């Protein structure tokens, strides 16, 4: 059986069209994940869905227990994760409600527990290829199958939040190459890498970034525009089983090899 974890952000919290088989409560040495994990099955694929912000969207981006979330997936034997995140568009060509597949990322977070290696082992995990290329291809094929347009080559910047950025910050982010801005990509991405889990990130364009289009960015705006894409995401999810591989041929599961510094 193939397995995939899906982390839903604002706007995508359930898979329509198939029954959830069970809600799995997982405890980890880092504490509890954001919510129980819903298990679904379609053909030869088990899908495990986790709501990043909790069942009632009560966990702010900087308060999410990212280590517990990734550890929970790892404990369930999940070796691939697709993460969705409501994001602001910095690239003016993006449209509200569209999906942008990230190809690179910038970390501007400040206060988060960002590694599994903070006790006796020092590891500098390599991020030269930030996202799993094989999983990206599988996602794109599923999107094509579902007749959903996905914009490629996004550069995602992750801020600390929970406040929205200032116009000057957005201008700076644009100058350094970012095309989307969100608050949850880090350390989720790097923790998955430390565990050898394939990970990709899909930005759901919920608003234009500060100082661009709208006068004020509101919660209603974020939720409404994110929901516009939930049908598309659902369709892609239902096609994933056709394109995910049984045997991994990407380098993700060997990520940790050669990155640990041991005192000798
Ligand atoms: Zn991979």
- Mind listing the pLDDT tens digit for each residue in 57-81? 899 999 999 999 999 999 999 999 9
For residue 109, name the pLDDT band (cuts at 50, 70, 90): very high
| The model's pTM | 0.96
Structural domain count, the chain: 1
User: Would you say residue 10 has pLDDT above 80?
Assistant: no
User: What CATH number did the domain enclosing 190 receive?
Assistant: 3.40.50.1580
Tell me the residue range of the domain where 192 lies.
2-261
- Mind listing the pLDDT tens digit for each residue in 127-156? 999 999 999 999 999 999 999 999 999 999
**Alpha carbon of 167 to ligand 1 centroid (Å):** 36
Query: Which residues have beta carbons under 5 A from ligand 1 (an ion)?
Result: 132, 198, 250, 252
β-strand partners of 167: none
**Alpha carbon of 76 to ligand 1 centroid (Å):** 17
**Alpha carbon of 101 to ligand 1 centroid (Å):** 15
User: Would you say residue 263 has pLDDT above 60?
Assistant: no
**Alpha carbon of 155 to ligand 1 centroid (Å):** 19
d(CA 83, CA 165): 22
- Mind listing the pLDDT tens digit for each residue in 36-62? 999 999 999 999 999 999 988 899 999
């Amino acid at each position: 059986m193939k397995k995939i974890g899906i982390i839903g952000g604002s706007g995508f919290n359930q898979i329509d069209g198939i029954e959830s088989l069970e809600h799995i409560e997982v405890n980890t040495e880092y504490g509890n994940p954001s919510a129980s994990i819903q298990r679904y099955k379609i053909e030869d694929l088990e899908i495990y869905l986790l709501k990043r912000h909790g069942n009632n969207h009560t966990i702010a981006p900087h308060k999410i227990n990212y280590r517990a979330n990734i550890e929970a997936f790892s404990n369930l034997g999940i070796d691939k994760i697709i993460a969705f995140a409501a994001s602001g568009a910095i690239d003016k060509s993006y449209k509200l409600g569209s999906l942008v597949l990230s190809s690179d990322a910038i970390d501007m977070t400040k206060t988060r527990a960002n590694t599994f290696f903070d006790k006796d082992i020092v590891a500098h995990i390599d991020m030269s290829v930030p996202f799993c290329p094989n999983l990206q291809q599988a996602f794109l094929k599923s999107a094509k199958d579902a007749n959903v347009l996905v914009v490629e080559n996004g550069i995602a910047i992750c801020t600390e939040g929970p406040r929205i950025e200032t116009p000057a910050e957005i201008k700076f982010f644009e100058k350094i190459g970012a095309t989307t801005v969100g608050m949850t990509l880090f350390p989720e991405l790097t923790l998955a890498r430390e565990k050898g889990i394939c990970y990709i990130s899909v930005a759901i364009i919920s608003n234009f970034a500060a100082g661009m289009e709208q006068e004020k960015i509101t919660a209603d705006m974020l939720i409404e525009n994110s929901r516009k894409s939930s049908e598309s995401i659902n369709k892609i999810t239902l096609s994933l089983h056709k394109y995910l591989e049984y045997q991994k041929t990407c380098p993700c599961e060997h990520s940790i090899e050669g990155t640990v510094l041991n005192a000798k």
